[in-house]
């Protein structure tokens, strides 16, 4: 099972390119698309799901262009878009029945799958409530459930945990991790913690281009010696050109700055700190 992006570019209305010659290979596992708003994450996912056409390049599934696969490709796909209009007068369960019908699922398999997914996303007790009464987090969860109805081989999720509280984010994160053994799961997000520990690979997008891609541990070696914890007095501030501050912790008699920067700090007390994806994100995008 392999999904390949080959030299994909996309421009809207003759403006700056949303994507420029993107190349990437996906195999079973979780991939995190990281980048700031406007980086091209949603555009790339829309092209990978055949919702919009690239200006140039190809998306191949097992070496076959997805445009040629048509409905066969869509049958392999589960997609949770970043924004989707929901039917407020439907109950959660009715909405999943409706989506199952659109996906061409038979009633017998739909019944069991809908019950399983409502339980998975912690909405079984809310299944008879109107979607119009759902909180933002509940709407996110019902969208996640519809994406998984047809047991897809490829699961695309655009900001899947936006609006979820910490316990629900953990639940969904663990669920996706357990599903990833035999699925290609692509998660577009700017919430680093969502994919820090579950992603097989990270793809960093900036201004429509892939600036880095690889396993998290591999990428973190690039900033291994660039993360510091710096101690200054309570009345002092820490300043350094091209320094990205990730955290400030107030102590009884000092402030501790956690920063990522190319050069070691000068004229202050400091120690090296373990690099994380948050520092990697700031290093490339701030």
Are 66 and 206 in the same domain? yes
- Confirm if 38 and 26 have CB atoms less than 8 A apart: no
- Domain enclosing residue 281, as ranges: 221-285
The pLDDT of residue 44 is 94
SS3 state at 152? coil
Q: How many domains does the chain have?
A: 2
The pLDDT of residue 28 is 94
Q: Which whole-number Å values give the CA distances from 75 to 148, 149, 154, in the listed order?
A: 11, 11, 10
* Spatial separation of the C-alpha atoms in residues 285 and 205, rounded to whole Å: 9
Q: Which helix H or strand E contains 113, and what residues bound it?
A: helix 107-120
* Spatial separation of the C-alpha atoms in residues 96 and 88, rounded to whole Å: 13
The pLDDT of residue 201 is 95
Are 189 and 86 in the same domain? yes
Are 242 and 163 in the same domain? no
Q: Mean pLDDT of all residues in the chain?
A: 91
Q: How many CB atoms lie within 10 A of CB 83?
A: 9
CATH of the domain at 27: 3.40.50.300
Are 23 and 96 in the same domain? yes
Residues of the chain with pLDDT under 70: 83-84
- The answer for residues whose C-beta is within 8 angstroms of residue 196's C-beta and 6 or more apart is 216, 276, 277, 278
Facing residues of 9 across strands? Answer: 56
- Confirm if 71 and 78 have CB atoms less than 8 A apart: no
The pLDDT of residue 114 is 97
The pLDDT of residue 83 is 64
User: Which residue bears the tokens 């599903």?
Assistant: 179
Kindly report the pTM of this predicted structure.
0.88
Are 187 and 89 in the same domain? yes
Are 131 and 251 in the same domain? no
Cα 279-282-285 angle, rounded to 5 deg: 150
Are 275 and 243 in the same domain? yes
The pLDDT of residue 84 is 67
* Spatial separation of the C-alpha atoms in residues 52 and 18, rounded to whole Å: 13
């Amino acid at each position: 099972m392999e999904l390949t992006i080959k030299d994909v570019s996309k421009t809207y209305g003759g403006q700056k390119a949303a994507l420029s010659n993107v190349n990437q290979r996906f195999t079973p596992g979780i991939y995190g698309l990281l980048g700031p708003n406007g980086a091209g994450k949603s555009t790339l996912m829309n092209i990978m799901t055949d919702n919009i056409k690239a200006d140039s390049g190809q998306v191949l599934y097992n070496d076959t262009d997805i445009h040629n696969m048509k409905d066969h490709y869509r049958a392999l796909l589960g997609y949770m878009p970043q924004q989707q209009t929901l039917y407020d007068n439907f109950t959660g369960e009715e909405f999943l029945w409706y989506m199952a019908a659109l996906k061409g699922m038979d009633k017998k398999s739909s019944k069991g799958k809908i019950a399983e997914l409502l339980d998975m996303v912690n909405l079984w007790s809310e299944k008879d409530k109107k979607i119009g009464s759902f909180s933002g987090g509940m709407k996110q969860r019902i969208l996640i459930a519809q994406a998984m109805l047809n047991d897809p081989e490829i699961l695309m999720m655009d900001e899947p945990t936006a609006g979820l509280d910490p316990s629900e984010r953990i639940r969904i994160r663990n669920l996706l991790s357990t599903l990833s053994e035999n699925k290609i799961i692509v998660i577009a997000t700017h919430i680093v913690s969502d994919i820090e520990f579950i992603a097989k690979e990270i793809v960093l997008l900036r201004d429509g281009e892939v600036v880095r891609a690889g396993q998290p541990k591999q990428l973190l070696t690039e900033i291994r010696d660039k993360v510091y914890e710096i101690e200054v007095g309570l009345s002092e501030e820490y300043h350094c050109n091209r320094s990205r501050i990730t955290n400030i912790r107030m102590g009884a008699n000092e402030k501790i700055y956690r920063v990522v920067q190319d050069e070691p700090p000068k004229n202050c007390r400091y120690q090296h700190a373990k690099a994380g994806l948050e520092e990697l994100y700031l290093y490339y995008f701030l």
